[in-house]
Amino acid sequence: METNEADLTRINLSDIPGGPEIFEKAAKFCYGVNFEITVHNVAALRCAAEYLQMTDKYCDNNLAGRTEDFLSQVALSSLSGAVVVLKSCEDLLPMADDLKIVQRCIDVASARACSEANFPCRTPPNWWTEELSILDVELFGRIIGAMKQRGAKALTLASALITYAERWLRDLVRDHSGNGIKCSDSTDSDLRIQQRELLESIVTLLPTEKAAFPIHFLCCLLRCAIFLKTSTACKNELEKRISVILEHVTVDDLLVLSFTYDGESLLDMDSIRRIISGFVEKEKNMAVFNGGDFREVTSSAMQRVAKTVDAYLGEIATVAELTISKFNGIANLVPKGARKAHPNLDEIEREKVCSSMDPLKLSYEARVHASQNKRLPVQIVLHALYYDQLKLRSGAADDRGAADAVTTRNQLQADVSLVKENEALRSELMKMKMYITDLQKSNNNNQGQGTSCSKNVGSGTTRKQTFFSSMSKTLGKLNPFRHGSKDTSHIDDTPGVDVTKPRRRRFSIS
């Protein structure tokens, strides 16, 4: 208000705690006008009373005394009241800290939060985490520190931190639909700078127990850190935590780390590689500590990770911007022994497993590999070779395509039948070899039993000769010259006839 009086005293009250509204209430108190003290304005009234020197030093039941009574009897008697008062202190620092209002609120809030976490009296059980999440990250961190000093469990602290991160980084942590943030939104706007600082502060508050957080939440935080371009220390801490519990990871978790929020492009794959490498190193150290060989024996956790990584590679293999070096860099991290094989599958089971594979979509290198892979069923191998040959022929002479394809298909079917016959013959020969071995063992045992068993040697020899005779007949049927001039299958295998050396005959022309 302007005036022409020169001797008018001017008092500047622009920096009074709480502003004009709190000054008005302090003036009403001086004139005996009633007003309400609440949890929202009690901290500001207490600071204003100290600023205006309205303490009991000058008058009993002054404004400072009235606000102190309200704090101790009403505001700090519950968790919700303490949190609201602490929230109002964010604009009253450092005076609220000097008057111990902040510390008193932190003590009450941390004690009540620990009590609710251990013995919940309201539903839902984690309601107290929602109460704490309204605070500034600095004051929230001080409550987390006080809870640690009171012996709060790591899972209790993790629950509060998860709720807090999802509240303040909602568009980054909770949006997994792919319809949210575009890549261009990662510019250094004021909002992104605030979110970056907030995330780095949250990571510093994580409890030391590495397995306190769900791995999906950690993956979301790491993607958020990559998107916001946080410090290297922040990203390394999250990568280490994920690496420790990587056996619980799913393909979706790894995909969260791999793609941007809009799902249009890949993020930096180096984080994935460092995470898997860290887990493999941990498994190697565990194997050495237990006195085993990591190359020969792999843990069940390593096998689960290998299965997940292979499935993950199958998901991202179709992305055009994924280079071969990055793909191999991740694939080669998994030890070969960790990839589970099924060597006991028979031919029919292997054909069922490989029936979904389309040889037409295999590259030339893949077809060459398939032709040399002994684990693949014979028919799949021949299909790969057939399609490779058909492709070469179609490229060299298109005019002969149809006729050559039919001829090649018939030849292929004949080759498959021949291969199956050879496999059956090989199986029969192996059975014969095993049977002969058993007979030899039995014969050796009989020779060691003394004279009572010596009479049976001749009969045993006769049986062995009979077996060899039947075997020679079987092999004779497989003789490729059976229908030619060298067919000897009609000759009887009788004792006393020497068929290896023919009788010399004398011929006469007279």
Per-10-residue mean pLDDT of the chain, 510 residues long, equals: 61 84 92 93 95 88 93 95 96 94 96 94 91 96 96 95 94 59 61 93 92 92 93 95 93 89 76 93 81 64 91 88 88 81 70 71 73 72 72 56 54 64 77 84 71 46 50 51 45 45 44
pLDDT value at residue 421: 74
Distance separating alpha carbons of residues 170 and 27, to the nearest angstrom:
43
DSSP 176: -
**Residues 33 and 2: beta-carbon distance below 8 Å:** no
What residues contact 326, with CB distance under 8 A and at least 6 apart?
A: 269, 273
Distance separating alpha carbons of residues 119 and 156, to the nearest angstrom:
12
Distance separating alpha carbons of residues 376 and 364, to the nearest angstrom:
17
Distance separating alpha carbons of residues 253 and 313, to the nearest angstrom:
13
Surface-to-core class of residue 122, CB atoms within 10 Å of its CB (0-12 exposed, 13-18 middle, 19+ buried): exposed
**Residues 472 and 485: beta-carbon distance below 8 Å:** no
Distance separating alpha carbons of residues 257 and 250, to the nearest angstrom:
11
pLDDT value at residue 203: 96
Residues in the chain, total: 510
pLDDT tens, residue by residue, 336-352 = 777 766 667 777 777 77
φ/ψ of 290, rounded to 5, equals: -85, 5
* Angle of CA points 277, 279, 284, to nearest 5°: 95
Locate 402 and state its tokens: 């149809």
**Cα–Cα distances in angstroms (integers) from residue 293 to residues 288, 298, 491, in the given order:** 7, 8, 60
pLDDT value at residue 202: 96
**Cα–Cα distances in angstroms (integers) from residue 142 to residues 75, 135, 136, 156, 202, in the given order:** 19, 10, 10, 15, 12
φ/ψ of 259, rounded to 5, equals: -110, 155
**Residues 186 and 228: beta-carbon distance below 8 Å:** yes
Q: Smallest Cα–Cα separation from 222: which of 152, 173, 280?
A: 173
Instruction: State the CB neighbour count (10 A cutoff) for residue 205.
Output: 17
pLDDT value at residue 245: 93
pLDDT tens, residue by residue, 435-489 = 888 888 888 777 665 544 444 444 444 444 455 555 555 555 554 444 444 444 4
pLDDT value at residue 78: 94
* DSSP letter string, 359-424: GGG--HHHHHHHHH-TTS-HHHHHHHHHHHHHHHHHHH-GGGHHHHHHHHHHHHHHHHHHHHHHHH
φ/ψ of 266, rounded to 5, equals: -80, 145
pLDDT value at residue 456: 45
What residues contact 272, with CB distance under 8 A and at least 6 apart?
A: 254, 257, 258, 330
pLDDT value at residue 253: 92
What residues contact 343, with CB distance under 8 A and at least 6 apart?
A: 375
**Residues 40 and 84: beta-carbon distance below 8 Å:** yes
